[in-house]
Homo-oligomer: A and B are copies of this chain.
């Protein structure tokens, strides 16, 4: 055991990640070339970013050419990776459209992301797969195609990182009950999937990339089938990137509302898959489907989403919340139009399919922390909106790209609470909590309790901080539901909330310091809180 943290080793590994990041610039560069974007203001920024990533990465690697890391260095590496990558990811946003004319540097387009704090918000929101946005004009014909695809890809890359983090790294670090993933997965432990982290990572990435590819092909297939006229290859790839990563960014300003019912229904199972524990897919790929359908977390995860979808569908069927006048006006405006081509804000109350689709899509999107929307749910009735707030506190499955508290934690909590009731009657009895046929370690249970309460405390205090900053130093007062959902949606890496930060809204009106605060919330939330907070303790840095 080393006496102090070997920060050089941790930083060195972050440098390696940065060098890999440089390679990914090829995607926006090729995209820019394909679409014929002007080189200097639109393609050059990605070369600059790649150069910075390589240069900085190499410098970091030189701190320790042969890093040997333990648990402490792992915590540092994990936390720093998301921070440093997000900071480097600021460069394309800030440089987009910048050129040299008449002896001075000028921007050819007007972008909110030219402001560094906005760019950092967007970049962290991307790499943490949050999907909260401060981009003023969401439109790939206003911004360059390359930049808009890069924005989508930050989420896909972030999702890749999360898959490895959740399945291979956090369990090793015994963080917040994450050891469950290791000890409690039914059958062969995840650790035993393949012998080394690198191989585990590769196996999971194949699954991740494979499902992404299937989704892209199916989305484009709907276009070919005439059921999704605007689901171009560009849009298919863009949304493939942000579904499997539970990211939720879209190059369409009105998210998945821009597409027809067929696309909306198709995306639902992929969001469900994105929030499912990835090791389960590994078992399925080996023909062991029972591992999936018998998994207690998967059953609770799908059961809760099913129940919530049905409940919200009921709310919408009875009273969607929109005024009758608005509903009638929309219905009249689209009289006779083929419904595959409609924006889907049309009447829902009384329409079974529309109510089910809108309810299921939104309930799944917020439970899995994807954050896509098929309509502005701000217009919904109070109960339907509350059901979505409820969904925001469930989260995806452990070992998925989903954020939030996570279903397995709630499962362990519910089982432990039953044990607590038993203990009240039989104070001296020792009764273990069982999950998937195995007894849980008391320390893991304590970690799960602690994580969940810490999450809730940070959420409550975070909302208060945002509300206070907006009231005293910002443009005005946050409504109660805005304060609550701004905190929940960033900490849980969900993206949209209610009010001004609704699915068709933006985080642009927050003050710079509130944006930086939410950058912090996205960061700690994505890393399961403890790896970041622990860096702030004296115990971490001392021997």
- Interface of A toward B, CB cutoff 8 Å: 71-72, 75, 173-176, 311, 314-315, 318-319, 321, 381-383, 385-387, 389-390, 393, 413-414, 416-418, 420-422, 424-427, 445-447, 449-450, 452-454, 456-457, 460, 463-464, 467-468, 470-472, 476-484, 498, 530-531, 533-534, 537, 539-540
Contacts and interface: CB of A to CB of B under 8 A. Distances in A.
B381 A477 contact: yes
A483 B464 CA distance: 20
A498 B319 CA distance: 22
A110 to B, nearest CB: 30
A75 B424 contact: yes
Nearest to A394: B460
A155 to B, nearest CB: 28
Please report whether the interface of chain A is mostly helix, strand, loop or mixed according to DSSP: helix
Contacts of A75: 424
A173 B424 contact: yes
9 contacts: A71-B427, A314-B472, A382-B480, A393-B460, A417-B450, A420-B447, A421-B537, A425-B537, A481-B481
B319 A471 contact: yes
Nearest to A452: B453
A161 to B, nearest CB: 20
B386 A484 contact: yes
A543 to B, nearest CB: 10
Contact of A467 (B321, B386, B427, B483): B386
A42 to B, nearest CB: 40
A128 B322 CA distance: 39
Nearest to A418: B537
Given A382-B480, A413-B457, 16 more contacts: A72-B425, A174-B427, A311-B464, A314-B471, A318-B471, A382-B478, A390-B460, A413-B453, A416-B450, A417-B453, A420-B454, A420-B530, A422-B539, A424-B534, A425-B539, A449-B449
B383 A483 contact: yes
A454 B425 CA distance: 17
Contacts of A176: 420
A424 B382 contact: no
B446 A387 contact: no
B393 A420 contact: no
Given A383-B478, A386-B463, A417-B454, A540 B449 contact: no
A498 B471 contact: no
A533 to B, nearest CB: 6
A301 B452 CA distance: 23
Q: Which of A426, A447, A471 is the most central at the interface, judged by chain B CB atoms within 10 Å of its CB? A: A471
Q: Which of A318, A319, A467, A470 is the most central at the interface, judged by chain B CB atoms within 10 Å of its CB? A: A467
Contacts of A450: 416-417, 420, 449
Contacts of A71: 427
Contact of A382 (B413, B460, B467): B467
Given A389-B480, A446-B446, A471 B383 contact: yes
Contacts of A319: 471, 476-477
A508 to B, nearest CB: 18
Contacts of A454: 417, 420
A386 B540 contact: no
Nearest to A427: B174
Nearest to A389: B480
A472 B414 CA distance: 28
A376 B367 CA distance: 35
Given A446-B446, A481-B480, A468 B530 contact: no
B467 A383 contact: yes
Nearest to A449: B449
A78 B422 CA distance: 18
Contacts of A453: 413, 417, 449, 452-453
A539 B426 contact: yes
Q: Which of A319, A381, A383, A539 is the most central at the interface, judged by chain B CB atoms within 10 Å of its CB? A: A383
Contact of A174 (B383, B393, B424, B447): B424
Contacts of A477: 319, 321, 381-383
Nearest to A5: B425
